[in-house]
Amino acid sequence: MISRYFVVILIVLSAVTILSIPKAGLNLIVPNSVASQAENSTVISDMPYPVPESGFVEAPQISAISAIVVDNKTGITMYEKSPNLRHLPASTTKLMTALVALEQCSPGDVVKVQNIEGEGSQMGLEAGDKVTVENLLYGLLIPSGNDAAFVIARNCGSSYEQFMAAMNRKAKDLGMANTHFINPAGYDNQLQYTTASDLALLARVSVANPIIARIVKIKSTVVTDVTGTRTYYLENVNKLLGTVPGVEGVKTGETDGALENLITKTTRDGNSVLVAVLGSRDRFGDSKGLIEWSFQNYKWAGSGR
């Protein structure tokens, strides 16, 4: 009888012990909740992060079929609309072209132009021009020169094919799971695609590069070839630069298939948001609306907890 009671007591004690064990792996995250993202992020413990204002209102309607708003420092998503929908990237591709170029070439490297890609927007290169990689990046990112994109891809690597492979490898390394490139300019092709979510990842990495960050915020400039005799007048396609407070780039894109794409970085009071819109019929209007909405409906909580 005593042994039977002893066994019962052991079973009860074991059950109590099991119930008292902390459930360490069960941090539930409420989808699309900024507060939940903040609570479950170890990255933001020492920096401000966005939280909704008390009078929070829904984001404005936009024409874009896909969009996302992300806090640049923490990566917290503040707004999304079909963020993982695959779409033609158009010239937003050139951000990846620039990143890979700076990994495989030095800014001061001199490239001799041989073949010219004459379709679409142009930097103004001609066969025989000798131009630094840095000035090619100006032509790539400011007027969105397709000629500059192909010159870079053919010269900043052992081959054009190797450069394209490096672009896709970089996308994979960054976690851009729904992105693939087959050309460096952004020409429409069913095998060339991305998402708003992936572009936000790409933009965060791109603007962390000081050369790219400096170039994409320039409204207009003039660069030359290495001899100083060939001049290239460059105008930025992004109409929000200089018109919307705090806008610092990042990259436009437009083709017949893609419609209008735009990635924008905006900084106010030390806080930055990245907006990506894809498949828009008014990329500047859509982006401006989301930018203003973001800063009106979010505040940034103090650093640390």
List the catalytic residues.
91, 94, 144
Task: Say how far apart CA 11 and CA 7 lie, in whole Å.
Answer: 6
Alpha-carbon gap, residue 156 to 254, rounded angstroms? 25
Which tokens sit at 211?
């050369």
Report the alpha-carbon distance of residue 93 to residue 22 in Å, rounded.
47
Contacts (Cβ under 8 Å, ≥6 apart) of 276: 67, 68, 70, 92, 196, 199, 200, 203, 261, 262, 263, 264
Per the DSSP assignment, residues forming a β-bridge with 265 are 274
Cα-based distances in Å from 155 to 18, 36, 51, 161, 211: 63, 46, 45, 11, 19
With H, G, I as helix, E, B as strand and everything else as coil, classify residue 251.
Answer: strand
Determine contact, residues 131/225, Cβ cutoff 8 Å. yes
